[in-house]
Structure 1
């Protein structure tokens, strides 16, 4: 088994806010992240796939194909968007980095499998100091 990772980047705005809580409760739990005027991040996304090396190509997956999948199904949907409002696969969900990583996984796993590899990990950096890793269910 071998692993290979592709890095992509996107910028997006969001806020952490529960409509069923009071403004005060949201502020207590989420602090500045509950800002009514939103806030943004410069996200770095690392998608790691695993599999056997194809003897003909020397690849686990063609990185051009992996890039195309990530850009089409994730980056194009997220870049310069509001996660709470503009992104179909985030609609109705808390726009935390943790939830976002899980939803990115759902966008990519089956498509990567169709290319003969398996999705191993989605690593999403929200800031230089904060990131989440998701390895599937």
Structure 2
């Protein structure tokens, strides 16, 4: 019997979507306002889902305090109130789209969470725009 558990977090980051191999005109056409050379910000909502068996000794699938601490250490401390393009190693050369941010977060957490748990990341860039990544 598998059960899903979820942890929701929030962080604020600035970024600029830009491909250095393209002309300014093409970047502007593809990324629009998101290509602003002065950057722009989002209030991201992050939902981390773990799926696994309930531990008969604890009654937990996963200790949510440990998950909260892990997200704080691996995501919030590194990305919250940062300019992703300028302040993070992860996005120095990787375009910080919502898709890429979700994959980076998944990879960081996957390294720290036992593989017996399925892991899925849902990242809301706005109320209406969000992405999901589960490693596939």
**TM-score bucket of the superposed structures, by smaller chain:** over 0.9
Uncovered stretches (5+) of structure 2, i.e. residues with no partner? none
- On the 8 A contact 2:102/2:122 being kept in 1, the answer is yes
Match of 1:43 in 2: 44
Match of 2:8 in 1: 7
1:58-113 per-residue CA deviation (whole Å, 9 max, x = no partner) reads 00110000000000001110000011111122221011000110010000012121
Give the TM-score of the pair, scaled to structure 2.
Answer: 0.95
Counterparts of 2:37 and 2:91, CA distance in 1 = 18
- On the 8 A contact 1:50/1:120 being kept in 2, the answer is yes
Q: CA RMSD in A?
A: 1.1
Q: Which runs of 4+ in 1 moved over 4 A?
A: none
How many residue pairs are counted as aligned between the two chains? 135
Match of 2:133 in 1: 134
Counterparts of 2:116 and 2:47, CA distance in 1 = 16
Counterparts of 1:73 and 1:89, CA distance in 2 = 12
1:45-65 per-residue CA deviation (whole Å, 9 max, x = no partner) reads 000001111111100110000
Match of 2:119 in 1: 120
- On the 8 A contact 1:90/1:103 being kept in 2, the answer is no
| Deviates most, 86-95 or 11-20 | 86-95
Match of 2:77 in 1: 76
Give the TM-score of the pair, scaled to structure 1.
Answer: 0.94
Counterparts of 2:118 and 2:46, CA distance in 1 = 14
Shift of 1:18: 1.1
